[in-house]
């Protein structure tokens, strides 16, 4: 299997896992608060990171091995992810899964905008066209100014913005930092 095929396969499995998680959060939100679900998700989410650290031989019992020069950025990123989780999980408990999922796709819009603002990225006509179509779709789903509109519908959009910030902020980290260690910082933030 080539690296490209492997990367595509990993992305597809990740999307499947995220969708399954959304279904479970939606189901469990009848009994648990968004805060509780977020804590449980992070506790169970640490396990794959620990396994990955063990597999890559980065697992250590010395706390000094987990120090980052950019620890403030890592904790800030973790805090933003925690806010995104709370917004997303609250929305899953209040709105239809399809609506939350569709509004969560505004993530791409925010990634492009943040990349332009933070890193001065150049974006071509076709990408702007795709982002514009996505934004129009989000507005069509939310329907501001109508009786269908609900302030809760802004939660998945806020979550998408926070997740986009978390994605874009990854470019600011030293490339030598393990993804698993960054996840651990996010989980503990």
Q: Which two tokens stand for residue 47?
A: 């396990």
- The alpha-carbon radius of gyration of the chain (Å, integer) is 18
Max intra-chain CA distance, the chain: 57
Q: How many helices (H) and strands (E) does the chain have?
A: 8, 0
Per-residue pLDDT of the chain (189 residues; tens, 9 = 90+): 898 998 899 889 988 988 999 999 999 999 999 999 999 988 887 887 778 778 877 777 777 767 788 889 988 999 999 999 999 999 999 999 988 988 888 898 999 999 999 999 888 899 889 888 888 888 888 777 665 578 898 999 999 999 999 999 999 998 888 777 787 777 776
pLDDT of residue 86: 96
* Coil, helix or strand at residue 69: coil
pLDDT of residue 145: 67
Smallest CA-to-CA distance from 137 within 106, 158, 181 is with: 106
pLDDT of residue 115: 93
Instruction: Give pTM, 2 decimals.
Output: 0.84
Spatial distance between the Cα atoms of 24 and 26, rounded to a whole number of angstroms:
5
CB 95 within 8 A of CB 25: no
Instruction: Specify the DSSP class assigned to residue 61.
Output: S
């Amino acid at each position: 299997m080539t690296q490209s095929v492997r990367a595509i396969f990993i992305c597809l499995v990740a999307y499947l896992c995220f969708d399954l998680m959304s279904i479970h959060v939606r189901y469990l939100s009848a009994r648990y608060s968004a805060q509780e679900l977020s804590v449980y998700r992070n506790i169970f989410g640490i396990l794959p990171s620990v396994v990955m650290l063990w597999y890559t031989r980065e697992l250590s019992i010395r706390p000094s091995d987990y120090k980052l020069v950019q620890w403030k950025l890592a904790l800030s990123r973790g805090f933003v992810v925690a806010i995104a989780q709370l917004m997303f999980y609250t929305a899953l408990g209040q709105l239809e899964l399809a609506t939350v999922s569709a509004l969560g796709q505004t993530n791409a819009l925010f990634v492009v905008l943040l990349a332009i603002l933070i890193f001065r990225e150049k974006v071509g006509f076709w990408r702007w066209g795709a982002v514009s179509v996505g934004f129009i779709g989000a507005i069509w789903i939310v329907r501001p100014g109508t009786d269908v509109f609900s302030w809760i519908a802004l939660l998945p959009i806020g979550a998408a913005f926070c997740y986009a910030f978390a994605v874009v902020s990854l470019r600011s980290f030293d490339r030598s930092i393990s993804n698993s260690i960054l996840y651990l910082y996010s989980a503990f933030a």
